[in-house]
Amino acid sequence: MLQQTQVTTVIPYFERFIERFPDIPSLAAAEQDEVMPYWAGLGYYARARNLHRCARVLMEQYDGHFPPRSIDIAELPGIGRSTAAAIAAFSYGERSPIMDGNVKRVFARYFGVHGQPGMRAVEQRLWALAERALELAPGDLDMAAYTQGLMDLGSQVCTRSKPACDSCPLSELCVARRLGQQNMLPTPRPKRAVPERSCAMLILVSEEHLLMERQADTGIWGGLWSLPRFDSAETLVAACRPKGIQITDKARMASFTHTFTHFRLLIEPWLIHSPQRIEAEGNQAWIPMESLRDMGMPAPVRSLVDSLPQLSCAPVGNG
């Protein structure tokens, strides 16, 4: 959960998740649709799908336990080199370096490494420094404490802006501090214009049911349930017409924008009350209103669904 998401945001999600899935067997035994509601709102939903797959692999191949070597842990779904090393360090004391975003910042500043950390050559340089630091460390190094200390140093002291250099235990030999380059390192990415996309969402209500559509496992909302989504309002209207649903401008709701990491999505919702339920197609399903609260939905869809009792729109009959 802490990959791509801040600690303060993660804590309540983590507590709910662990209460529902307290161990690997309980997570592996669950269906994906049971897991996704506990991740809805955190974004980067492939993380949840991989976590679920990982639990099942651990049950099938490792009797419900993580293997002791980071090289084997890194082969599990959704786990990269740094996360694998952290798991091995905390669980088995393996002497392997980590390199998450916070630790990259610590090493870039301490050793004066210029260049964007995401660039392959720069990342390899940082990994080499992390490996060398462990080679020079005492043989009885407490790997759990060392690993946690590096992460805490990056998240609480060597912060992205306004680092607390005066209280940093590494400040005496830090290249960035000596040269006054704390705000220059790590080298920031050049700012790029955030692209904008748009879509129209169909909120089709009938007989206390709402038409929902399960998203494919790939894509921005993979594995979640969403309202049927169309490229434009014209496409939405055209898709409804053959089903006997005539839509007027009264069904159009206020548009709003949802911001992702790499783009902004302008959403135009259309609310339709239909006296008859049309046939659900493909991954669509009519969901009872009382069941909606238990479904995994992306944040903007959840916001729309939760506001349904307060919405009003002139009914539009099948025509």
pLDDT digits (tens, 9 = 90+) for 85-137: 999 999 999 999 999 999 999 999 999 999 999 899 999 999 999 999 999 99
Task: Check residue 269 and give its pLDDT.
Answer: 96
| pLDDT score at 293 | 87
Question: Looking at residues 291-319, what average pLDDT do you find?
Answer: 71
User: What pLDDT was estimated at residue 275?
Assistant: 85
HSE (side-chain half, CA atoms, 13 Å) at 188: 9
Q: What is the overall mean pLDDT for the chain?
A: 92
**What integer pLDDT is reported at residue 260 of this predicted model?**
87
Is the bond preceding 186 in cis, omega lying within 30 degrees of 0? yes
Whole-prediction pTM value?
0.80
Residue 289 carries which DSSP code? G
Q: Is 244 left (phi over 0), alpha (psi -120 to 50) or beta?
A: left
Question: Above pLDDT 90, what percent of the chain?
Answer: 79
pLDDT at residue 268 is higher than 70: yes
pLDDT at 316: 38
**pLDDT tens sequence across 183-233:** 999 999 888 888 999 999 999 999 899 999 999 888 889 889 999 999 999
Whole-angstrom distance, CA of residue 21 vs CA of residue 195: 37
pLDDT of 309 reads 67
Domains and CATH numbers, the chain: 7-179 (1.10.340.30), 196-310 (3.90.79.10)
For 306-317, what is each residue's pLDDT tens digit? 888 644 333 333
Tell me how far apart the alpha carbons of residues 98 and 81 are, in angstroms, rounded to a whole number: 8
Q: Identify the pLDDT of residue 197.
A: 95
The mean pLDDT value for 142-152 works out to: 96
Lowest mean pLDDT among 64-68, 198-202, 268-272, 309-313: 309-313
What does residue 270 show for φ and ψ, rounded to 5 degrees? -125, 120
What is residue 220's predicted lDDT score, i.e. its pLDDT? 83
